[in-house]
Amino acid sequence: MQADFLQIQHLDITLSGNEVIKDMSFKVRRNTLTTFLGPSGSGKTTVLRAIAGLNQHVNGKILLDNQEIQDQAANQRNIGMVFQSYALFPNMTIFDNVAYGLRVQKQAPTEIREAVAAMLKTVGLTDKRDAYPDQLSGGQKQRVAIARAMVLKPKLLLLDEPLSALDAKIRVSLREQIREYQQKLGITMLFVTHDQGEAMAISDDIIVMNEGCVQQQGSPMAIYAQPDNVFMAEFIGNHNLLTGQQLQRLGITTAGNHPLAVAEHYVIRPELISQIQVPHSVALAGKITSLTMLGDRVRYQFLTDSGMVLKVEELNFMRPLSTNVPLTLFVNPLLIHQVGTTYAE
Ligand SMILES: Nc1ncnc2c1ncn2[C@@H]1O[C@H](COP(=O)(O)OP(=O)(O)OP(=O)(O)O)[C@@H](O)[C@H]1O
């Protein structure tokens, strides 16, 4: 079983009179990759900096491996950090950049040579050991920054939007590599991003933040399929958010095996409305009014005969549905998820 390795308890952070983090608590399991996901300004970087010890005074407790660290200086915490901007030393070779922290710790030269060589091998940059940062691509520079942090064997590695400065293709490849390093070396990583796809693809756990509060923590699957509240349903993925009353107008009387509550909100993901009929499906008559090609999927606007507009998505492997002709689609009420009446406080 993976123990709770990092525990944040009742964290409050005020910056220039602005309460940025409000009574926040969460846990991160050992040897997992946990992502902080949230809109811009939600407080992700602020929490990360507090964990690293880079903030001014914070209220609350931060426990790492059962030790309180909130009053320790940053260099006492044994926490590594990787930034969007790489922050490499431009006048040092790649080898020296990676060796830097070990030299500060005054480790023996042979040990340093071995550790740096092993780390450069892990990140696939052995042939760049004598190059300087400005001779490397953005993705390679970030791999050096990650190697420089990992070589110190930190208890926890914090990564603050490490892929944001890279182009889309490199971003996908480097996120997979980061996940691979994390699993291979058994590092606990806390990774900040505002990119849902990135968070979904690499995380054991996702912590979704908004306005200085945790909205939900869970596996990528749970975050997507069982949003806890209206913010979560709207923030993650594409959605149809409907009240119980609106569902009734569509002829739907149950959701997830429970009777509908008229004032509650429910979410139907667009891919769950389809041409496929299963036992207990409810038929929805209407017509497609527009379609958008997304490459692997097609997104439709479906206007029901009762006057409601629903988002529908289908994989793009068949001829697209025709617009403006009568059409019946189906939804399985068991897959409709209740999300409550309000945003999480
Ligand atoms: N030094 C500061 N003084 C006052 N307010 C600050 C300070 N630094 C950040 N804030 C505010 O704190 C909030 C959280 O900022 P933070 O950078 O942690 O958000 P974030 O989720 O990391 O955003 P982004 O994704 O844009 O980096 C924002 O509203 C920001 O304006």
Interval 319-328: pLDDT, tens = 888 999 999 9
pLDDT of 334 > 50? The answer is: yes
Backbone region of residue 27 per phi and psi (left: phi > 0; alpha: psi in -120 to 50; beta: other values) = beta
Give yes or no for residue 129 CB within 6 A of ligand 1. no
Q: 109 and 253: one domain?
A: no
- Please report whether residue 243 resides in a domain: yes
pLDDT band of residue 345 (cuts 50, 70, 90) is very low
CA distances from 211 to 40, 55, 294, 345 (A): 9, 18, 31, 10
Give yes or no for residue 43 CB within 6 A of ligand 1. yes
Q: 164 and 193: one domain?
A: yes
The end-to-end CA distance of the chain, in Å, is: 31
8 A C-beta contact, residue 197 and residue 171: no
- Please report whether residue 204 resides in a domain: yes
Q: What pLDDT shows up at residue 344?
A: 38
Closest CA to 212 of 8, 3, 7: 8
Q: 213 and 257: one domain?
A: no
Tell me the CA–centroid distance for residue 21 and ligand 1, in Å: 10
Which domain range does residue 46 map to?
Answer: 4-230
CA atoms within 13 A on the CB side of 40: 1
Q: 143 and 203: one domain?
A: yes
pLDDT of 12 > 60? The answer is: yes
Number of structural domains found in the chain: 2
- Please report whether residue 80 resides in a domain: yes
Please identify, among 203, 230, 257, the residue that sits at the C-terminal boundary of a domain.
230
Q: What pLDDT shows up at residue 225?
A: 87
Q: 122 and 28: one domain?
A: yes
Ligand 1: which residue has its CA nearest to atom 27?
40
- Please report whether residue 249 resides in a domain: yes
Q: What pLDDT shows up at residue 199?
A: 95
Helix axes 94-104, 138-150, angle to 10 degrees: 20
Q: What pLDDT shows up at residue 257?
A: 83
Q: 147 and 259: one domain?
A: no
Q: What pLDDT shows up at residue 238?
A: 87
Q: 216 and 309: one domain?
A: no
To test the ligand 1 pocket, which listed residue (45, 84, 161) has its Cβ within 8 A of the most ligand atoms? 45
Q: 208 and 284: one domain?
A: no
Q: 185 and 225: one domain?
A: yes
Percent of the chain with pLDDT over 70: 97
Q: 218 and 104: one domain?
A: yes
pLDDT in tens, 95-119: 999 999 999 999 999 999 999 999 9
Q: 73 and 210: one domain?
A: yes
Q: What pLDDT shows up at residue 165?
A: 86
Give yes or no for residue 196 CB within 6 A of ligand 1. no
φ, ψ for residue 9, nearest 5 deg: -125, 115
Tell me the CA–centroid distance for residue 46 and ligand 1, in Å: 6
Tell me the CA–centroid distance for residue 212 and ligand 1, in Å: 9
Ligand 1: which residue has its CA nearest to atom 30?
41
Q: What pLDDT shows up at residue 301?
A: 97
Q: What pLDDT shows up at residue 2?
A: 55
pLDDT band of residue 341 (cuts 50, 70, 90) is low
CATH, residue 160: 3.40.50.300
pLDDT in tens, 109-150: 999 999 999 999 999 999 999 999 999 999 999 999 999 999
Higher pLDDT, 344 or 19: 19
Max Cα separation, the chain?
77
Q: What pLDDT shows up at residue 342?
A: 46
The span from the CA of 294 to the CA of 184, in Å, is: 35
Average pLDDT over every residue of 224-247: 91
Helix axes 109-122, 138-150, angle to 10 degrees: 140
- Please report whether residue 168 resides in a domain: yes
- Please report whether residue 79 resides in a domain: yes
pLDDT in tens, 199-209: 999 999 999 99
- Please report whether residue 345 resides in a domain: no
Q: What pLDDT shows up at residue 237?
A: 84
- Please report whether residue 276 resides in a domain: yes
Please identify, among 206, 230, 254, the residue that sits at the C-terminal boundary of a domain.
230
The span from the CA of 69 to the CA of 84, in Å, is: 25
Tell me the CA–centroid distance for residue 207 and ligand 1, in Å: 17
Q: 135 and 203: one domain?
A: yes
The span from the CA of 300 to the CA of 322, in Å, is: 10
pLDDT in tens, 260-302: 988 899 999 999 999 989 888 999 999 999 999 988 899 999 9
Q: What pLDDT shows up at residue 318?
A: 74
Q: Across all residues in the chain, what is the average pLDDT?
A: 92
The span from the CA of 91 to the CA of 293, in Å, is: 48
Please identify, among 230, 250, 274, the residue that sits at the C-terminal boundary of a domain.
230
8 A C-beta contact, residue 59 and residue 12: yes
Tell me the CA–centroid distance for residue 50 and ligand 1, in Å: 12
Q: What pLDDT shows up at residue 3?
A: 67
Tell me the CA–centroid distance for residue 211 and ligand 1, in Å: 10
CATH, residue 284: 2.40.50.140
